Amino acid sequence: MPTIALTLTLNGKQVSAEVEPNTLLVDFLREGRGLTGTHVGCDTSQCGACVVLAGGRSVKSCTMFAFETEGLEVVTIEGLAPAVVGGELHPMQAAFREHHGLQCGFCTPGMVLSAVDLVRRHPNPDEAQVRHWLEGNICRCTGYHNIVKAVQAGGGGGS
């Protein structure tokens, strides 16, 4: 298969690669770049475990081809906070920890990045807004209770 030359900004660094036209963004990230914080939880584009930010918007990386990120700024969960000793968490990550918004952690990267996009669009979302926004993110562990609290706190509002 002929490949496509791809250049994007990935977690703040410019990256160039040759990708096959049918390579999904999630596979490019996990297998091509070793960024395994982005997860695959389904094959029907519903669970949201694969959510990343592309051009600032939350997208399901299982539902996008890698080549579609040409020229975009892509942020995965690994790029949200500096991964060094003593590195500070992004406020949304910190809120998830503070409010026990994760258990097994598998849905968490997608949840956090979805939430980052929500509060960018709607600072201080109310409970109903958060619950509605998370329609595309499934969590089997938490019953969403603490996720909603975390997102509200991470968005500057809520309890």
Given the rule CB under 8 A, which residues bind other proteins? 30, 35-44, 46-47, 49, 76-78, 80-81, 83, 87, 89, 93, 96-98, 100, 102-109, 112, 127-128, 130-132, 134-135, 137-148
Query: From the list 6, 25, 74, 139, which residue makes contact with ligand FES (rule: CB under 6 A)?
Result: 139
Tokens 């409970």 found at: 127
- Pick the closer one to ligand FES by CB: 10 or 147: 147
Write down the least CB distance from residue 84 to ligand FES, Å.
25
95 part of the interface to ligand FES, by CB under 6 A: no
Write down the least CB distance from residue 141 to ligand FES, Å.
3
Q: At what angle do helices 108-121 and 145-154 cross, to 10 degrees?
A: 40
Q: Quick one: which segment of 4-12, 87-95, 139-147, 150-158 binds ligand FES (CB under 6 A)?
A: 139-147
Write down the least CB distance from residue 18 to other proteins, Å.
16
Write down the least CB distance from residue 102 to ligand FES, Å.
5
